[in-house]
Structure formats: structure tokens, C-alpha cells
Amino acid sequence: MTKPIALIAGGGIAGTVAALALDRAGWSPRVFEARLPGADEQGAWLTVAANGLNALRVLGLDPAFVLAAGFETPSLTMFNGGGRRLAVLPLGGTTTTIKRADLYAALRRAAVKRGIAIEYGKGLCDFTEAPGGVTVTFADGSTAAGELLVGADGLRSRTREVLDPGGPAPSYLGLLNAGGFTDGPVDAVEDRTPGMVHMAFGKRAFFGWTSAPDGSVWWFANPPSRQPVRPGDFTAASWREHLISLFEGDALPAAEIIRATGEVLGPWNTDDLPRVPVWRSRRTVLIGDAAHAVAPSSGQGASMAFEDAVTLGLCLDGADDPAQGLAAYEQRRRGRVERIVAVGRRNGSGKTAGPVGAAVRDAMFPLVMRFLYRKGDPQAWILEHRVA
């Protein structure tokens, strides 16, 4: 029997994992990625949490193999700008830190190994649905037809726009993003235990850093900014200088880490998506950031993409009518991801406190953490979730 074809727009995290999940569920997936091979946005690094890793296991993928280029990240220490330790928080089992480019590459290798085609330079610009199928048009004028369309095309999803032209757009959260990697250890970094994540409420901006097993320091910064950044607002040199100036005078290694970094990445805006009311039609569905971008401070965007993709495969396995499978997918995913979007927003808002807010936060933070953790890990509902 011929397998039904699933067209997947986007070959990022959600798209490649959806391809693997649908392949396992008896579909014939085809992935269409807008960018050319090797042209992925470099991004910096991200953490994949225990719940995301467990979703991969459902596909028979060994997370240790997929994330071989990363390293384990057992805990997070929070500081204030004066260098005072505010709290040490467990991150839950096997949380792994990995460069974004390495994660994309590993997932695509896994897909290609299963014989799944990934076609590059194919940006979806439109689609039409008929009772028996869906036809997609790409920016280069070519088309593809199948029985299902999966919109895994990220935060600015074109699939989402076509599905619901009146739907919401991403909203800017008042924070910019920067990141980078040093070539080796940095003298100012005292705790070089590989994988220990440190985060600090600097006086003017938020900073996070960890040492990789090779001694290099991986870091990110979140400078507050009322306005989103536009192309051309900074040069590479002025961005680096701006970041250094924000951390000068803090009792943190931030300024020295930035000085020791060859290429400072960013700036990117921090956005999330308000509730997206329409996730699906009869033959089209949104997954990953296209459906529900969570703020980076939740540390859950990639893991949500894994969970979505694997759940979609489970719901479409043996479904006679794709529409029923898509309804089951939404029913299993919507409540959970919307709770996590709310957590990400709350975490991010603490990064932009003014001087008075910062003093209150520094005084209250250890107490609040002790209160929250008094009965165990308050994030357990996120980290211990199993999709199957």
C-alpha cells in the first residue's frame, strides 16, 4: 500500500523530529527547508531538558547519540550583579547543553539515515487544501502535493499566516539576546566545572555562562531594550562594546568573557507568541515555535518542539482520518504548552528589574526559591512529563 505523504515546512528542530515520528507512524515525510544547506542561523547554544530527551526515546533514538556534541548540565547557580550567590537550582536529570547548529545537524543526520528527504532552498509561501489533500507552493514557484501539511517553520511561520490570516503575530518581550563561545578558559571564571550553568542579574543586564568540557566558556546575555533591534542598529564592534559597557563594574566575569570571545553573536530580539487560536485545519497543523513560541528563559523551546513532533506522530499513527489525529494532537498539547509559555514570560520579566526592583528581588530570591522548592522541584510537572 502506498504511504500517505506528509509535507513538512521547516527543517529545524520540530520539522526533523516530526519527519522521524511520521516515518515511524507509517507516513512518507518530505521536509522542505527555506534556507540553503549550511546556512542555518548560527544561534548560540541551548539546553534540551529531560522531558525533551525522553520524547526522543519514544522514537527509538538514543538521546546520548543525538546530543553527542553537547554536555550534561546538572544545575544552575544564580548570582546578583555584586557576585552574591542567590540560589542553586537543580535542572533535572539529564539536561544537555548543545550548540544549536550541532543539534540541527544531528537531527538531520538521523532523518537522512532513515531515508527521509530534506530539500533545501524551499520556502513555503502558500498552500491550498482540497478534501483529499494539500498543495504547497514554494518561493521558487515549484509545488508539492501530499495528504498532510505540517507547519514547522518557526516563530515567523508562513504556514500559520496562511492558515489564519487574522491570527496573532509574535510579541517582543523587551529583551535582546547575545551569545558566544571563547576559545579556551577565561581567568575571571572561577568555577570551571563542566556543565555548571551560572546566571546573574547584572546591574544593567542579565548574563549566563558555563564551561564546556574543553574549557571554552559558552555564554549569553539579555540586555533590556524598549525597542526591538533592527538590522543595522549595531555593527559587530559597536555591539561588542555595548555589551561590555553593560557589565563593566559588575562583580561578574561577564565583561572579561565577552572580551575573550572571537565572534559575538546577535543581537536577536526575544519574542514569544500570545495564544495562537488556530493550530489546525483538516489537513494542516502547526508544531513547535510556529504554534507556541516560548521565551528562551523557559529553557523549553527545543523540548516542546520534540514533544509536539513525537505526539503528532503518535496521534497520526493508524488514524483513518488525519483530521481526527490532528484534533487529538491539539487536545494533548495545547494546555501544557500554554502553561509553559506563561512560565517563560514570568522568568523573563525578572531580568529587567530597575534598581529598586533589583534590591527587592535580590533580598527575596533565596527565600522565594526555598519556599518554591520546599516540597520538591516546582518544575517537576515540566521535566517529568512523558509523551507516551
Binding site for ligand FAD (CB under 6 A): 9-15, 32-35, 46-47, 123-124, 152-154, 158, 177, 268, 288-290, 296, 299-303, 305
Are the CB atoms for 222 and 206 separated by under 8 Å? Answer: yes
The nearest distance, CB 178 to ligand FAD, in angstroms, is 9
The nearest distance, CB 184 to ligand FAD, in angstroms, is 23
> Across the beta sheet with 284-286, what order do the strands follow?
117-120, 28-33, 5-9, 148-151, 284-286
The nearest distance, CB 158 to ligand FAD, in angstroms, is 4
Q: Residue 95: exposed, middle, or buried by beta-carbon count in 10 A (0-12, 13-18, 19+)?
A: buried
Residue 153 or 250 with smaller CB distance to ligand FAD: 153
Please give the C-alpha separations between residue 256 and each of 10, 15, 199, 206, 243, in angstroms, as whole numbers: 37, 38, 15, 15, 11
Distance CA 335, CA 211 (A): 35
Residue 36 or 68 with smaller CB distance to ligand FAD: 36
The nearest distance, CB 335 to ligand FAD, in angstroms, is 18
Cα angle, residue 134 at apex, residues 129 and 139 outer, rounded to 5°: 100
The residues with which 48 forms a beta bridge, in sequence order, are: 96
Residue 32 or 79 with smaller CB distance to ligand FAD: 32
The nearest distance, CB 220 to ligand FAD, in angstroms, is 7
Cβ neighbors of 94 (< 8 A, separation 6 or more) are 50, 53, 63, 72
All three cell numbers of 236, joined, read 559587530
Please give the C-alpha separations between residue 302 and each of 45, 87, 337, in angstroms, as whole numbers: 11, 25, 12
The nearest distance, CB 71 to ligand FAD, in angstroms, is 14
Residue 10 or 223 with smaller CB distance to ligand FAD: 10
The nearest distance, CB 15 to ligand FAD, in angstroms, is 6
Residue 167 or 296 with smaller CB distance to ligand FAD: 296
The nearest distance, CB 355 to ligand FAD, in angstroms, is 26
Distance CA 81, CA 388 (A): 42
Hey, what amino acid is at 4? P
The nearest distance, CB 219 to ligand FAD, in angstroms, is 12
Rounded to a whole number, what is the distance in angstroms from the first to the last CA of the chain?
Answer: 27
The nearest distance, CB 385 to ligand FAD, in angstroms, is 14
Distance CA 44, CA 25 (A): 33
All three cell numbers of 288, joined, read 513547535
Residue 186 or 287 with smaller CB distance to ligand FAD: 287
Q: Kind and range of the H or E element at 313? A: helix 301-316
E strand spans, 212-250 = 217-222
Residue 153 or 330 with smaller CB distance to ligand FAD: 153
Closest CA to 348 of 174, 169, 155, 221: 174
